[in-house]
Structure 1
């Protein structure tokens, strides 16, 4: 699946996906958008991949849609430059949806600039870490567009997301950590090793239960608190019926040993 614009590497049960357009800030064009979407969808069906690490090459995680592609969608340029499929559907919402639907835990290692569509993609990950040199921005209003109104508000709340949209300002790593957008901040050279260690811990866990949790999370997003609490009966029944590790965990606890989770 590795291509000129996307590097895909399996490190045991961890799939490392690296956006590889560093000369363009890893912005999404048609090639990268299509490659990333296809890779995430294929990964979701892989039984050997138990955790995903998403990062970017160079000094950016993903700076959003390629500006030339955005201009193309106005009809001013060739549509083939845009980060959209033949029907005009943007790739980044499909990528976000695929990341959220994937049963594996997804860790985003945000190594530098992230903006616009790239920020929504980061918010689609289950966990986010960043380097101390990373910067985060919505930035779409500065080019006359609107966006980051789907996943960013779910992570940091509507008031903060609205302020970032309206001001087009950058946030540094310390601020994003303070508001909960990232769980930890690391020196630039230590980011990926820390993210890999986290992904390895997750890969050793009961990843079948993680997949059930992610599915339940999506199901209950629009339910009331009472509805969601009552729906957890369905979550418990699903795990007991479909996750082999659900019996291994309690057995290991009773036998006073470490569980041997298989991810099934």
Structure 2
């Protein structure tokens, strides 16, 4: 990755992606999108058990870089928005669980990055907004509708209003609020890292198949997954640990 404003770091089976451009309130420009795509290549080629997305202060992400947009021609805009959607789709489809740690504001593209995570922990001062109508472009809606439903997405997108942390948690925009964000992320990380990686990947796949292909396809996928799991080392370890009344140690095999 060539852009220091977006860092991918690893500690064992845990990967952390940090947005670090505080001078622009962590707004995303084109080089950062290119770095994000490169990071996704790295993650796909060497999959961690868990990816955590977080941001440096003062807030999670102020959206797309409007200073870059001021000088952008339509051909550049098409390339940039295409890259943006490609990155978001790849982020959502990563086989491993993805957690977003949302501090402060998440605006526009910042919201899209946050809701591309499977689980979203927000600080009490977190705020969410899709302000695109205020800058004369349409808001993305396709994933938000799945997450919070049509009526709530309409309310959020067609008013461009701010959603404060308590409401975000109530409508599902945030999974939960943590008074101490770092501690909340650490506790959730420990919880997820104790689970069987192959099972988590299959479960995540099944969730998306249910949403995109329907219940029958998801049922077939689940049957295949349970059958394949029977011969894995992790399944045998889980049953042995149960018999011995101890915690299992999963290796992802």
* Same fold (TM > 0.5): yes
Which residue of the partner structure matches residue 8 of structure 1?
8
Distance 1:247 1:150 in 2: 40
SS of the counterpart of 2:60?
A: strand
Distance 1:237 1:74 in 2: 53
Query: 1:141-177, CA deviations, whole angstroms, 9 ceiling, x for partnerless residues?
Result: 1111112312111111111011111101001111111
Which residue of the partner structure matches residue 188 of structure 2?
198
Which residue of the partner structure matches residue 24 of structure 2?
24
Which residue of the partner structure matches residue 138 of structure 1?
130
Which residue of the partner structure matches residue 65 of structure 1?
64
* Match of residue 224, structure 2, among 234, 251, 257: 234
Which residue of the partner structure matches residue 205 of structure 2?
215
Distance 2:3 2:243 in 1: 48
Compared with structure 1, are the counterparts of its residues 193 and 40 closer, same or farther at alpha carbon in structure 2 (3 Å cutoff)?
Answer: farther
Moved more, 10-19 or 108-117: 10-19
Distance 2:98 2:3 in 1: 21
Query: 1:82-127, CA deviations, whole angstroms, 9 ceiling, x for partnerless residues?
Result: 6x7xx45533222222222222211100011101122111111010
Structure 2 stretches lacking a partner, 5+ long: none
SS of the counterpart of 2:42?
A: helix
Task: Confirm or deny: 8 A CA contact 2:132 2:160 kept in the other structure.
Answer: yes
Distance 1:60 1:173 in 2: 13
SS of the counterpart of 2:158?
A: helix
Task: Confirm or deny: 8 A CA contact 2:209 2:217 kept in the other structure.
Answer: no
Report how many residues are paired. 253
Structure 1 stretches lacking a partner, 5+ long: none
Distance 1:14 1:2 in 2: 21
Task: Confirm or deny: 8 A CA contact 1:53 1:108 kept in the other structure.
Answer: yes
Which residue of the partner structure matches residue 43 of structure 2?
43
1:17 offset after TM fit, Å?
1.2
RMSD: 2.2
1:218 offset after TM fit, Å?
2.6
Task: Confirm or deny: 8 A CA contact 2:30 2:80 kept in the other structure.
Answer: no
Distance 1:222 1:103 in 2: 16
Distance 1:71 1:234 in 2: 51
Distance 2:58 2:181 in 1: 13
TM-score (norm 2): 0.90
Distance 1:174 1:240 in 2: 42
Task: Confirm or deny: 8 A CA contact 1:92 1:121 kept in the other structure.
Answer: no
Distance 1:176 1:56 in 2: 19
- Within a 5 Å distance, the mapping from 1:134-173 to structure 2 comes to 134-173=126-165
